[in-house]
A and B are shown apart, each in its own frame.
Chain A
């Protein structure tokens, strides 16, 4: 045990640097997912038929293939059609972001479709514009649904950054593997690595639970509100 602690002290700074890269990578991928996902969701909600079909196809494909396949395609595949991304970090960020966008688009969609369609129709009927209906009626109900799903996705993204180790991105898992080749003590280093992932993931997980609880409570209040005599039941 004592031996483990002294070694752990030696390893920690190096592993922590890897963790920082992991978090940065997850951040880059999340920004791409959030923005590209929004574009996809908008294309489905307000786009024409062709745009809708394109967006749906993109979503189905990215949701249907493993993240690893996307990584290999971006890092080893794109160069063969002339697009070379030198830095493994950015290649991994792009690949994870492209995959994440498909998931994020679905999260937006479910959120936007969670208020009953009648509400949108009703707000149009009382003379609201489409924009103000979205702004004052749909979004206030959609956002509580979207938020916990998005933080949960950020947690998944943090986990999926481990995949980037296959293209040698210097993130936490890669740092752990390098340490192991020098020290020959895999078990201890893997456990330490796991603890670091936990340390980074727990706050995100707690945030997700908190947001989900809040959203549930909000929904409960709405169900008891005026015009709704009680909980919806079968």
Chain B
């Protein structure tokens, strides 16, 4: 068993690189999250559209992404697409892969939020003479935020963890650096525990935020016939 001093020395050697890796992890997560938040709305709205083919198409995409492993998606983008002459860096491929996967997921969260608002409210708003889009914007969406926000934070945690998959295509993020240093120092366990601790340090505050949001906003949520 090694002394604490030796362990602290390992920490001081490895930690700066791990933290640099964590920076890339945050970059990948934040970039995909930004794309997902915006594009997810689009997919959710298309999924609820009145035109049937559009509805089926988006439903198919969402269903596909529910079943498709993220790792396979990343490999397909990074190693498969160059056959078509589409080349991108590992970083771009990982952000794109996580976004393609995440948009489908988040659109379901949005849809759940919109559908959690009793349909009678939409009807009532329209009976008062509001337009569909106006009723959506002023009546339904503001209320659905209560349901969506905690789920969105949970989604961000999932994205943060899944960004570790980017290490398999060679993005120099936290997991990749952890593996590399574990091998170089022959202290895989210690380094990997540090990596796990850094992930926890990023995800736990988010989890606490999600819990708080759920308790705080959930007080006023009475979802009809959920």
Contact = CB atoms under 8 A, between A and B. Distances in A.
Interface in A150-184: 155, 158-163, 165-166, 173, 177, 180
- Quick one: which of A78, A158, A160, A177 has the most chain B CB within 10 A? A160
Interface in B198-223: 199-200, 203-204, 207, 220-223
Interface stretch (A11-19, A44-52, A136-144, A188-196): A188-196
Interface stretch (A1-9, A28-36, A121-129, A226-234): A226-234
B67 A233 contact: no
B64 A198 contact: yes
A77 B75 CA distance: 26
A76 B182 contact: yes
- Quick one: which of B157, B192, B195, B203 has the most chain A CB within 10 A? B192
A219 interface: yes
User: How big is chain B's contact interface, by range?
Assistant: 35 or more
Interface string B131-160: 000000000000000000000000001000
Contact of A78 (B118, B165, B189, B190): B189
Interface string A71-105: 01100111011000000000000000000000000
B189 A66 contact: no
A191 B83 CA distance: 13
A173 B224 contact: no
- Quick one: which of B66, B81, B179 has the most chain A CB within 10 A? B66
B51 to A, nearest CB: 22
A94 to B, nearest CB: 15
B170 interface: no
A201 interface: yes
A191 B63 CA distance: 17
B68 A159 contact: yes
Contacts of A216: 225-226
A131 interface: no
Contacts of A190: 72, 75-76, 79-80
Given A65-B161, A194-B72, A159 B67 contact: yes
Contacts of A194: 68, 72, 76
Closest 7 CB pairs of A and B: A201-B67, A77-B189, A66-B164, A187-B80, A162-B71, A76-B188, A159-B69
Interface of A: 60-61, 63-69, 72-73, 76-78, 80-81, 155, 158-163, 165-166, 173, 177, 180, 185-187, 190-191, 193-194, 197-198, 201-202, 204-205, 216, 219-220, 223, 231-234
Given A64-B161, A68-B165, 5 more contacts: A72-B182, A187-B76, A201-B67, A201-B68, A234-B221
